[in-house]
Structure 1
Amino acid sequence: MARDPRRGGRRRRPRVASVLLATCWLLALPVGRVAAHTGGLRGATRDPIAIPTWLFLLTGGGVVGVSFLLASFVTDRRLVAAVHDWSRPLPDPGRLGRALVALLGVVALAVTLAVGVVEDATGVRNLAVLVVWVAWWGGYVASTYLLGNSWPALNPFRTVAERLPTLDRTYPERLGAWPSVAALLLLVWVEVTAPLADDARLLAAVVGGYAAVTLVGAAVFGPDPWFDRVDPLARAFRLYGRLAPVGVEDGRPRLRLPGGALPGTALDGRDDAAFVVTLLFVTTYDGFVATGPWATGVRAVAGAGVPPLLAYLGAYLVGAGLFYLAYRVAARLGRRRADTYLSTAELVRRFAPSLLPIAAGYHLAHNLGSVLVLAPTLVAVAAAPLSPPPSPPQLAGLPAWFGGLELAFVLLGHLLAVWVAHATAYELFPSRLQAVRSQYGVTAVMICYTMLSLWIVAEPYVPPPFIAS
């Protein structure tokens, strides 16, 4: 049942903020230097774009702006509804198929943990590192929005949790989905600041710790509340699955148009909307810390006597807050321009799903190069685990046209986001003029973010300063 997004918001805000700050502060204490999961690809390069950067960014922002104008001419509600309601049934894999997928997930987790602990090879020579960063983080995550969300069947944590006894304690409704927001921030903070791509044993320890916390939480509150409200991976993949062309309706798989389910996705409240915005932010931050301007800035801050990790942490927390604040301001602007009785909180939760194509497009642009370069290494290590590990490749081996493909992924994600926002507005507002005006704020944010994400993708890779070795 959907919760009132306005209920308890003022009382929860200070508590949630305190928990986030305390958690990140405690995590920061034992870490002295900064690393990123791209540490195994430190020789990566990207050819600079051949036109002035300002012109390139304005062109990208202009494309999104023009797409909004073009979408505004599509005013036939029946046509908009027909596009998003189109679907076709697909064969059901059945209980046996789902059982085999669940077994595959458990085996993959067990092998990753075992190899991470036992294998002496480091970095991208280690099978556990390749499985996590290439097969799972790069490849599988992309499959959840490009194909469909198979995580409910594959999820090894849930497969094990459902076979363990549970205390069935009542989940505190006042917490809502805020724990998943905090968990997502914490998870990506560990991913960015710990040398998980260089130290397979540390990677195995983090995966094992995540498994332990997940199983304990599911044992206390039950698998359904835990994976619905708290677990960040299950929530992220469930949202990405709404973007995919294959989904589940009434318990049966169906084929639909990409993004077709997003306009009808109604989030419960501000906590769910904050999770979507955070999902967008963490992917951006992961790329931003590998740019030249960030390296220059953090060195200057460190030269002034500020601990480097504090600079990373400060930018992380401030950036997350600014992303959410910008989205709130955009929703408030849309409400004022549409002259509607709907609250800002209502527009925040209804338009938030339109940000998911942007997050997916940037994730694909940010990770596809690593997957293409390292996939042969993964196959070689998996096929001959006892042979000497191959030398790690470099991203510089990508063909010159791949940089253009990355930029295309970013733009396509933004264009789809504009259309989803347009369709959502026509579901919300009876007046066509209201529907168009309600998108002004969200479109302005999308244009700004288009320019930011294109800039990050176009910037040459620079190893994050003070990286652990």
Structure 2
Amino acid sequence: MQCLKFIRNRPAWPREAALVAVAGAGLLGAAVPASAHGFGQRYDLPVPLSLYLTGAAAAVVVSFVIIALFVHRPLAGALPHAPRIAAPGKQWPVATLAGQVLTVAVYALVVAAGWFGNQNSLMNLAPTAVWVIGWVGLVYVSALFGNIWARIHPLAAVFGWSELLWRRLTGRALSTGVHYPDRLGVWPGLILLFAFSWTELVFPYAALPAAIAWLAFGYALVTWTGMALFGRAVWLARGEAFALAFGAFARFAPFGPPRRHDEPASASMTAFVVFLLSSVVFDGTLATPVWARLENIVVGAVAGSETASRMIARTLGLLAVWLLFLGTYLAACAVMQKVAGGWPAAGTLARRFAFTLVPIAIGYHLAHYLSFLLIQGQYVIPLASDPFGFGWNLLGTAGYRVDIAVVGARFDWYCAVGAIVAGHIAAVYLAHRTALATLDSPRRTLASQYPMTALMVAYTVVSLSIVAAPIVETSSGPTLDPAAALVAVPPGALIPEPGTGRLHAVGPSRTARLALTFRALGSTFHDGTRMTAADLLYPYVFAWRWSTRDGGEGAPYDPVVDAVTAFARARLVGVRIVGVDTTSKSTSFGDVTFTRELLIVELYADLATDDPERMAALAPPWSTMPWTVIALMEEAVHRGWAAFSRAEAARRGVEWLDLVRSPTLRAHLAELVDAFARDGYRPVGLEGLVTTEEARARWAALGAFSRAHGHFLVTNGPYRLKDWSPQAVTVEAFRDLRYPLGVGSFDSLPIPRRGFITRIEPADEGLKLSVDIETVMKFQRSYKIVREPLATALATSPLPPVLVCRYLVLAADGRVALAGTGDLATDASFRLGLKGRLAPGDYTVQTAVYVGGNAMNPEIARIPFRVADGS
């Protein structure tokens, strides 16, 4: 763990714990954005990205020049190979049989674990075995040692054994011997590979073990059907997606068996190879802001649920990126034909050069998935002892903890750069030798490689830009129903009962002015439990329970809770948990894939406004603490041990609630947690959301945490309290692969940047503001803050910062007359829309620009502003 220590000169530690104590109420009144977690993660490069892109492109160009000058032997026959380390087959029959038995057993185990095991993807073997080992790992094995998969293919092995038994019993072949149409080529394999990539990149339940099991079972049926119809060898060569993919990756394996490389690909195989490239690029594209904007446009244009709309958007994106790559490749081949004198045809050239793209595909896989394999692949160690997630320890490895520090962001970036550049240089080398074998003169050969090299340079720049793009979490945010002024509240919406907090149905025929949809990114709490619907709803229960002043003697009440939740309680009509959207792609360390849960919540309110931030701040369904901690604090206050607020503590003559530093209170709470764990205690309001067994597990986790750490301050933040004293507090980074915010999420916080308003001019809509912002130039461990005009910063930075301009208009008597945010214009200035929104009179406009979410110590401009009569 990384530890951060904050030293204070004052003798006393401020009451952070007390602030956390009322967080359940405070979150309902806080002005926060609609998306529960929005994060952008990046590694700050030691030099600007433009230099990397220029250097990488130059490396490809220089390699072309060197290859053109010194390589004169055409690509014919087999390339030189390193000594073969492994070549299973006829020479190694025992090893081949053992490998087949092992893969068949693992395949069966994956299906069984998916069907019958724990459905938590990190506690079940199926997701790791399929997505990490079965796909990413075997790509690298094939690229190094050849197509070992062809020998140990579990489905082919089962069919082969069955065919052998059938032949001995009946004397006939198991397959029907139907002729495979030549015109089909490998299109069936491409269709199946597209389906596999669609499952990985689009299907929202790709990490769900049961879904993986059904998909594996269905794929087995498809494969065996193809083998039964056309024969085992024919289907493996034409229709089996993984045999084709691993075979393509193995084509230039340095330790694999030699093979000829001068035969052209078929049209379908050309399309297949291009798809191997494009699918990985599309995977990286999903993490870019550009894709987030495009996806939101498609979602807004497609009718239906948001989940279905995003699936449609990503399906179209996957298809479009493949067609774009295929189109650019065919266009480059058409230009090659022109510059080479019109012969051979562009289609012939495309088939001839198709396999030269394989090194690029291998480089892309390394760039996007190596850190994924090195980190997520470690889960195989504990899962080998407990594949079903039942708590077994068959091999003694169940206690292994994944080390996410095995690779760092710096390693990930340099590996990506090296892999992409090396892949393109290898492709240039193979393309040149292929051209020597295809064309009849050195001049035509050299001319033909200009467009191919230009294509390689373009691929290099695009792929590196995608890898370097910040990782973003998109959310639909709050939406206002445009169809009608009043929105019908659905029957499933709930509202707490004042005084008790008990959740009950809103009731029939209830309407609201506003409908909000939140997508809360589920996280892991420090005690190891995961956020559920109960954690989202219990803060509402807490707020309504502790905000009723006339509840009688002994009734729960705190004036601070009453005050901070008044706005939300006055306007909230109902809240409804729609469901949980489990998605498979959430890159939070390089390209490491995490399973995440998006808890979809609808909120209905009596509030008429078109300001998204004000709508989102109404009562966001998000909890910084598990419901157990909030309920534990309530019980402490109920029993008279403490009070939530300082004023109430002074009035009652009790402690101000402190989950950390009060030994007496900690002892009381520890006894209480043990009792709650025995009884499976569920507070009022959660009876229908939490079972007794679930409650026992949650209380047990809280008790275990308190015994291990000496306090009850459990949150879902990125830092966890480690130790404390009157002079200092030590917190440690909370690093867990189940936590949705990964390495780099908070990089902007240590060096906050500011914005400065440099020029103010009148504009048609109100005011025009010219702005300077600070940018950070990092060089290894040092950095320099540079102030430059916003237009310059936006033009030169590949990663534009998040910019917000806020303004407040004060009337002459000091009252707030108007508030809002400025619009960023195309000329990089902000426009404040004041026209027609203020009555005649004198005003003062206070405005500031926030860079990267930094709202600390802003540079506030104060502008006198007059609205004349009739204007």
- CA-CA distance at 1:179 after TM superposition: 2.0
1: CA distance, partners of 2:118 / 2:82: 49
Say yes or no: does 1:47 pair with 2:29. Answer: no
Identify which range, 339-348 or 292-301, moves more after superposition.
Answer: 292-301
- In 1, are the aligned partners of 2:86 and 2:145 still within 8 Å (CA)? no
Pairing 1:6-155 to 2, within 5 Å after superposition:
45-77=41-73, 84-85=79-80, 93-155=91-153
1: CA distance, partners of 2:406 / 2:44: 15
Which of residues 385, 396, 404 is equivalent to 2:414? 404
TM-score of the pair, normalised by structure 1: 0.81
- Partner of 1:451 in structure 2? 461
2: CA distance, partners of 1:231 / 1:308: 29
2: CA distance, partners of 1:294 / 1:48: 21
User: What does the per-residue CA deviation read over 1:359-383, in whole Å, with 9 as the maximum and x for residues that have no partner?
Assistant: 1111112111111112332202213
Name the count of aligned residue pairs. Answer: 415
- In 1, are the aligned partners of 2:178 and 2:229 still within 8 Å (CA)? yes
- In 2, are the aligned partners of 1:407 and 1:458 still within 8 Å (CA)? no
1:363–1:66 distance in 2 versus 1, CA, 3 Å: same
- In 2, are the aligned partners of 1:125 and 1:391 still within 8 Å (CA)? no
- CA-CA distance at 1:114 after TM superposition: 1.0
Identify which range, 292-301 or 62-71, moves more after superposition.
Answer: 292-301
User: What does the per-residue CA deviation read over 1:182-239, in whole Å, with 9 as the maximum and x for residues that have no partner?
Assistant: 2222221122122455311111111111111111111111112211111111111111
- In 2, are the aligned partners of 1:184 and 1:232 still within 8 Å (CA)? yes
- CA-CA distance at 1:107 after TM superposition: 0.9
1:217–1:338 distance in 2 versus 1, CA, 3 Å: same
| Bigger relative contact order (CA 8 A; separation at least 6) | 1
1:110–1:342 distance in 2 versus 1, CA, 3 Å: same
- In 2, are the aligned partners of 1:134 and 1:375 still within 8 Å (CA)? yes
- Partner of 1:161 in structure 2? 159
- In 1, are the aligned partners of 2:81 and 2:255 still within 8 Å (CA)? no
- Partner of 2:327 in structure 1? 325
TM-score of the pair, normalised by structure 2: 0.45
1:199–1:170 distance in 2 versus 1, CA, 3 Å: same
1:455–1:99 distance in 2 versus 1, CA, 3 Å: same
2: CA distance, partners of 1:94 / 1:125: 36
Identify which range, 332-341 or 209-218, moves more after superposition.
Answer: 332-341
* 1:248 match: secondary structure: coil
2: CA distance, partners of 1:197 / 1:176: 29
User: What does the per-residue CA deviation read over 1:271-323, in whole Å, with 9 as the maximum and x for residues that have no partner?
Assistant: 11111111111111122112232123312442455633222222222222121
Say yes or no: does 1:187 pair with 2:200. Answer: no
1:86–1:152 distance in 2 versus 1, CA, 3 Å: closer
Structure 1 vs Structure 2 CA RMSD: 2.8
- In 1, are the aligned partners of 2:202 and 2:315 still within 8 Å (CA)? no
Which of residues 193, 196, 211 is equivalent to 1:202? 211
2: CA distance, partners of 1:105 / 1:223: 17
Say yes or no: does 1:246 pair with 2:255. Answer: yes
2: CA distance, partners of 1:332 / 1:172: 29
Greater share of strand: 2
Which of residues 282, 286, 299 is equivalent to 1:285? 282
- In 2, are the aligned partners of 1:44 and 1:395 still within 8 Å (CA)? no
- CA-CA distance at 1:324 after TM superposition: 0.9
2: CA distance, partners of 1:379 / 1:170: 45
- Partner of 1:355 in structure 2? 357
User: What does the per-residue CA deviation read over 1:6-53, in whole Å, with 9 as the maximum and x for residues that have no partner?
Assistant: xxxxxxxxxxxxxxxxxxxxxxxxxxxxxxxxxxxx999441334333
* 1:51 match: secondary structure: coil
Which of residues 330, 337, 340 is equivalent to 2:339? 337
2: CA distance, partners of 1:182 / 1:197: 18
2: CA distance, partners of 1:391 / 1:191: 27
Q: For residue 232 of structure 2, what is the amino acid of its counterpart?
A: P
Q: Which runs of 5+ in 2 are unaligned?
A: 1-37, 164-173, 304-308, 477-580, 583-596, 598-871
User: What does the per-residue CA deviation read over 1:384-403, in whole Å, with 9 as the maximum and x for residues that have no partner?
Assistant: 55349779969687324312
Which of residues 353, 370, 375 is equivalent to 1:368? 370
1: CA distance, partners of 2:230 / 2:214: 24
- Partner of 1:25 in structure 2? none
1: CA distance, partners of 2:359 / 2:290: 27
Say yes or no: does 1:423 pair with 2:433. Answer: yes
- Partner of 2:236 in structure 1? 227
User: What does the per-residue CA deviation read over 1:123-174, in whole Å, with 9 as the maximum and x for residues that have no partner?
Assistant: 2221111111222222122111123220111111111222242111111222
- Partner of 1:274 in structure 2? 271
- Partner of 2:223 in structure 1? 214
- Partner of 1:236 in structure 2? 245
- In 2, are the aligned partners of 1:44 and 1:461 still within 8 Å (CA)? yes
- CA-CA distance at 1:248 after TM superposition: 2.9
2: CA distance, partners of 1:299 / 1:395: 32
1:201–1:151 distance in 2 versus 1, CA, 3 Å: same
1:394–1:44 distance in 2 versus 1, CA, 3 Å: farther
Q: Which runs of 5+ in 1 are unaligned?
A: 1-41, 250-260
2: CA distance, partners of 1:310 / 1:129: 24
2: CA distance, partners of 1:143 / 1:241: 8
1: CA distance, partners of 2:200 / 2:337: 37
2: CA distance, partners of 1:231 / 1:196: 23
Percent identical across equivalent pairs? 31
1:90–1:56 distance in 2 versus 1, CA, 3 Å: closer
1: CA distance, partners of 2:435 / 2:102: 41
- Partner of 1:176 in structure 2? 185
1:57–1:154 distance in 2 versus 1, CA, 3 Å: same
- CA-CA distance at 1:176 after TM superposition: 1.8
- In 1, are the aligned partners of 2:84 and 2:255 still within 8 Å (CA)? no
- Partner of 1:258 in structure 2? none
Q: For residue 310 of structure 1, what is the amino acid of its counterpart?
A: I
1:87–1:133 distance in 2 versus 1, CA, 3 Å: closer
- CA-CA distance at 1:417 after TM superposition: 0.9
- Partner of 2:29 in structure 1? none
1:82–1:198 distance in 2 versus 1, CA, 3 Å: closer
1: CA distance, partners of 2:40 / 2:223: 35
2: CA distance, partners of 1:439 / 1:195: 42
1:425–1:221 distance in 2 versus 1, CA, 3 Å: same
2: CA distance, partners of 1:61 / 1:391: 42
Larger radius of gyration: 2
Identify which range, 447-456 or 384-393, moves more after superposition.
Answer: 384-393
